Amino acid sequence: MTDPILSVSDLRVTFAINQGKKWPWSPANALHAVNGVGFDLHRGKTLGIVGESGCGKSTLIRAIAGLVTPSGGTVQLDGRTMDYSRRADMQELRRRMQMIFQDPIASLNPRMTIRDIVAEPLTYFRPDMSGAERKRATREMLDRVGIPERNFNRFPHEFSGGQCQRIGIARALVSTPQVLLCDEPVSALDVSIQAQVINLLKELQDEMGLTLVFVAHDLGVVRHISDDVLVMYMGGVMERAPAGAVVDTPRHPYSQALLSAVPVPDPRVKTTPQVLNGDLPSPLNLPRGCLFQSRCPKRIDACRTTRPELKGPENAKVACLLEET
């Protein structure tokens, strides 16, 4: 097998929180947003990342993109370890890795026409291109995502949410990156528009050989677009396996609870969502043992004192003590 294009090892993100300090001179509290996440992603593949709100999904991919400074760990892009403090590394990272954001309208400059929005990355990453070449590349990319040329001089507020997301995709891909980070790109869209955007991403991935990291809440969407799925909880990885295995036969109790909440579009099929009782731990004071112990219906005594490691075959890892017994 070829070497991974994106390799993340023991990535951690900690924020300093001043709220709740006993005295003004007391040290800031540490909020643990991402706790030792690691994975390898090969060319042309898609990794889906799922979990509840606040589990660290978006912080993880923002840290990979350099929008949030990691507190520890490494990110390797095509074998090169990224140093986020070096301008040259950041320029190389941005050229080869782009991001699509959750809010399609807020991510576009309201003072610029969509032609200028999509052409802007070429000015930065391809200064060797002439004005005519940039104009042609911009036109071709907007046409590729389904935006007709008659709309090129309009502003973002004149488009629907789905159209704005298409423009955001065109802006991200016009500089021909190798890795595309998608931060819940369809969560703000109607279901029918979601399907159009997902199918567009799959088509562009096949055409351009893109590697995707796709963050979402909807396991159905993730299964449709992803090769592997990474399940996160409280900043840690609970399970990583092929998409079909996670959806059909989830092994971690948290993955099973997430799957039970997915509605089935068949009135003849009765499903009962699994209610997770117990308190959600604070990211300011993570438990000593398993991160999921306070809400896990299958916990054993050892879960209170031992934090399980992500173990198993390369394509089916799970962090659960029940798998080790």
Chain centroid offset of residue 26 CA: 35
Reported pTM: 0.90
The answer to whether residues 199 and 178 touch, using CB atoms and an 8 Å cutoff, is no
The CA distance from 279 to 284, in Å, is: 14
Residue 261 pLDDT more than 60?
yes
Let me know if residue 312 belongs to a domain: no
* Orientation of helix 161-173 relative to helix 131-144, angle to 10°: 130
Let me know if residue 324 belongs to a domain: no
Residue 266's pLDDT is: 63
Q: Which residue has the tokens 């592997």?
A: 228
Let me know if residue 266 belongs to a domain: no
> What does the pLDDT average to over 240-246?
91
Let me know if residue 301 belongs to a domain: no
- Condensed to tens digits (0 to 9), the pLDDT of residues 298-312 reads 999 999 999 999 988
pLDDT-above-90 percentage for the chain: 56
Least confident of 1-10, 69-78, 255-264, 298-307: 255-264
Let me know if residue 256 belongs to a domain: no
Let me know if residue 277 belongs to a domain: no
Residue 233, domain extent: 6-247
Residue 301's pLDDT is: 92
pLDDT band at residue 269, thresholds of 50, 70 and 90?
Answer: low
- Condensed to tens digits (0 to 9), the pLDDT of residues 77-125 reads 988 898 888 888 888 888 899 999 988 888 899 999 999 999 999 998 8
- Condensed to tens digits (0 to 9), the pLDDT of residues 34-48 reads 999 999 999 999 999
Residue 23 pLDDT more than 70?
no
pLDDT band at residue 133, thresholds of 50, 70 and 90?
Answer: very high
Let me know if residue 289 belongs to a domain: no
Let me know if residue 188 belongs to a domain: yes
Q: Number of folded domains in the chain?
A: 1
Q: Which residues pair with 214 in a beta bridge?
A: 48, 182
CATH code where residue 165 lies: 3.40.50.300
Residue 325 pLDDT more than 70?
no
Residue 265's pLDDT is: 66
User: SS3 of 304, please?
Assistant: helix
